[in-house]
Structures are given as structure tokens and as C-alpha cells.
């Protein structure tokens, strides 16, 4: 097991359970991801697809993932900067969605922005009763690209619009009711509940679980996701409104 100072993504292959635990380990930033973090996350998912039968996504400390590191957003200046971030987001989120192995999100604490989208991209999710879910991007002049593509089909259009337009959080029970998570457990029961779900997946032969995952991923794909993300970011991420809001967030 080890982590990179640059990426703060910890990869732990638990060979006895054929499971790879991928932990976002930036608790001082509430596990927000910068460009290197998104790249390392995608690399960890790719590695898990080769070495394990199931991958688990988790966050260190008292948050799952606060989404993008706002300092990264505030620093966007050129079209090349926007494209780099858009590509990292695409590769990270759609990499989780389309990974050959089932991916389970273990959610304890806030899952905001890109963290919310990681939960949505995962195949299954277990959340504690202190988890919270929000899409606050519009409050800093940005928008949630993966959510715009996918979460309407998961939660329904009206619920997606409420999340995206207000930025208000919902609790774990509501997220379960809306179909974003599968199970809600007490804080101390998260590891056991995830292990139970992983064991149930491992009861089935690996070729069957991989085929089921691939079939669902094919039903979601349309091939235009990367360009939509890049186009959306180009319109909003370098605007003065977005920069000002991001700087105000950092200063606050």
C-alpha cells in the first residue's frame, strides 16, 4: 500500500478478498481533487481493473470527496487549462463508470461536486447516515458536467435541477430514496456493509460480473461526453464570474 504526495490517491490491493481499495487521501482539503488527483484516480481504477475483481472508492478523514480543488478552478486562464481539467474530469468519472470491474463507493461525510459525481459514476454505493450530497458548482459560476449527463436518469429531471440550480445538499436517506445510493448504515458499520456487498458480488463468477458491467456501460455511452464537458467548461470556467466566485470561496 502506498500513496503519492502529488496525487494523494492511496491504492490498497487486498488480495485475499480480490478487492482494491482506492482512497482519496487529502483530508486537509476534504479530499478535493486537483488535476494530478483526477489522473491518479483514473490510474488506480485502471490498475484495479487488471488486479482485482471489485474496486472500492473511499475518502480519508471526515469527508468522501469535496469535488474539484477550487484553487485549480480559480487558476484556469487559458483554453489549454480548461481542456486539461475537462479531460481529467472526463477520464476520471467515465473511467469509473466504464471500468471492467464493479466499483463500489463507500461514502462517509460530504460528497460534493465531483465527489457527488463519483458516487453517481460508481456501480453501487453504501453511505453512512452522516453522508451528504450536493452539486454546488453553479454557486461558483461553473456547472456539474457528469451530473448533467447522467444524474437525471438516476434521480429524475426535477431532482437533478433542484440539486444543480440551488447547490443545496441532501442527506443520505434522501439520496437512497432518489436512487443515488443503495444502502445507508450507521457510521461505524460502513466497512462491514461494504464488505458484505463485495462478498455478494464475489459470489458470482468474474466473467458474469464483468459482462453485466460492460452491458450497462454500453447502454449509457453515446461517444460525445468528452466534447460536451470541454465545451461546457470553455463557456463558464474562464469567465470572470467563475473566477471571482472561486477566489471569494478561497478567501472565505
* CATH of residue 244: 3.90.226.10
pLDDT of residue 252 exceeding 80: no
Which candidate in 77, 97, 137, 177 is catalytic? 137
Which candidate in 28, 51, 79, 117 is catalytic? 117
Q: Which of the pair, 37 or 222, is modelled with greater confidence?
A: 37
- State pLDDT tens for residues 131-184: 999 999 988 888 888 898 888 888 999 999 999 999 999 999 999 999 999 999
Does residue 207 sit within a domain? no
Look at the chain and report how many structural domains it folds into. 1
Does residue 209 sit within a domain? no
Phi and psi torsions of 127, nearest 5°? -125, 150
Cβ proximity of 45 and 32 under 8 Å = no
Does residue 211 sit within a domain? no
- State pLDDT tens for residues 240-251: 777 777 777 777
Catalytic residue status for 77: no
- The domain of 236 spans 2-188+217-251
Does residue 178 sit within a domain? yes
Q: Which residues contact 15 (CB under 8 A, 6 or more apart)?
A: none
Catalytic residue status for 50: no
- Lowest-confidence pick of 77-91, 94-108, 173-187: 77-91
Does residue 197 sit within a domain? no
Round to the nearest angstrom and report the end-to-end CA distance of the chain.
Answer: 36
Smallest CA-to-CA distance from 21 within 54, 62, 64, 66 is with 54
Q: Which residues contact 34 (CB under 8 A, 6 or more apart)?
A: 68, 69, 71, 72
Distance (Å, whole) CA 83 – CA 59? 26
The pTM (predicted TM-score) of the whole model is 0.91
Does residue 75 sit within a domain? yes
Amino acid at each position: 500500500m502506498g500513496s503519492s504526495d502529488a496525487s494523494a490517491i492511496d491504492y490498497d490491493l487486498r488480495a485475499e478478498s480480490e478487492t482494491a481499495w482506492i482512497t482519496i487521501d487529502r483530508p486537509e482539503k476534504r479530499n478535493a481533487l486537483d488535476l494530478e488527483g483526477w489522473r491518479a484516480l483514473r490510474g488506480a481504477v485502471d490498475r484495479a481493473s487488471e488486479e482485482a475483481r471489485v474496486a472500492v472508492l473511499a475518502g480519508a478523514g471526515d469527508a468522501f470527496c469535496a469535488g474539484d480543488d477550487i484553487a485549480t478552478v480559480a487558476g484556469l486562464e487559458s483554453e489549454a487549462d480548461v481542456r486539461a481539467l475537462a479531460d481529467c474530469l472526463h477520464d476520471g468519472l467515465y473511467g469509473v463508470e466504464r471500468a471492467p470491474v464493479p466499483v463500489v463507493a463507500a461514502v462517509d461525510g460530504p460528497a460534493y461536486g465531483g465527489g457527488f459525481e463519483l458516487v453517481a459514476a460508481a456501480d453501487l454505493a453504501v453511505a453512512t447516515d452522516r453522508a451528504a450530497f450536493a452539486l454546488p458548482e453553479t454557486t461558483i459560476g461553473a456547472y456539474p458536467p457528469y451530473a448533467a449527463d447522467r444524474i437525471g436518469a438516476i434521480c429524475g429531471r426535477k431532482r437533478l435541477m433542484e440539486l444543480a440550480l440551488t447547490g443545496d445538499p441532501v442527506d443520505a436517506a434522501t439520496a437512497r430514496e432518489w436512487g443515488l445510493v443503495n444502502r445507508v448504515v450507521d457510521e461505524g458499520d460502513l466497512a462491514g456493509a461494504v464488505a458484505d456487498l463485495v462478498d455478494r458480488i464475489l459470489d458470482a463468477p468474474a466473467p458474469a460480473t464483468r459482462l453485466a458491467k460492460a452491458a450497462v456501460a454500453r447502454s449509457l455511452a453515446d461517444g460525445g461526453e468528452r466534447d460536451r464537458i470541454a465545451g461546457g467548461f470553455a463557456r463558464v470556467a474562464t469567465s470572470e464570474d467563475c473566477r471571482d466566485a472561486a477566489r471569494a470561496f478561497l478567501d472565505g
